[in-house]
């Protein structure tokens, strides 16, 4: 699946300030935190990837499904040969 325009993702309420993403550097005490607002500025495609992977099953099938997901911040993508169809999402 190809997802474009991930930079136009919107949060409701105070989530831009209050939602926190955690990652660990694998060193003792190496926890790193980032707010949703900072994450949208730097890597908007990762916000959507984390959300989708959180909904997938944590099995081999879920990991295989996650590898087929292609997310791009802008409207351009290199998958024109596959002729993806636009899917209208209600606003």
Phi-psi region of 29 (alpha: psi -120 to 50; beta: other; left: phi over 0): left
pLDDT per residue as tens, the chain (91 positions) = 888 888 999 999 999 999 999 999 999 999 999 999 999 999 999 999 999 999 999 999 999 999 999 999 988 888 878 777 777 776 6
Rounded distance, CA 9 to CA 73, Å? 9
Rounded distance, CA 76 to CA 57, Å? 29
Q: Which CATH architecture has domain 2-74?
A: Alpha-Beta Complex (3.90)
Domains of the chain, by residue range, sit at: 2-74
Sequence-separated (6 or more) residues with CB below 8 Å from residue 50: 21
pTM of the predicted model as reported, rounded to 2 decimal places: 0.81
Instruction: Tell me the per-residue pLDDT of 51-75, one tens digit each, with 9 for 90 and over.
Output: 999 999 999 999 999 999 999 998 8
- Residues making up the chain, counted from first to last: 91
């Amino acid at each position: 699946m190809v997802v474009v325009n991930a930079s136009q993702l919107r949060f409701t309420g105070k989530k831009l300030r209050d939602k926190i993403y955690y990652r660990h550097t694998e060193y003792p005490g190496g926890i790193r935190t980032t707010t949703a607002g900072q994450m949208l500025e730097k890597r908007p495609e990762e916000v959507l990837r984390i959300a989708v992977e959180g909904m997938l099953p944590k099995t081999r099938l879920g990991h295989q499904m996650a590898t087929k997901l292609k997310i791009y911040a802008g409207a351009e993508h290199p998958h024109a040969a596959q002729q993806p169809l636009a899917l209208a999402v209600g606003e």
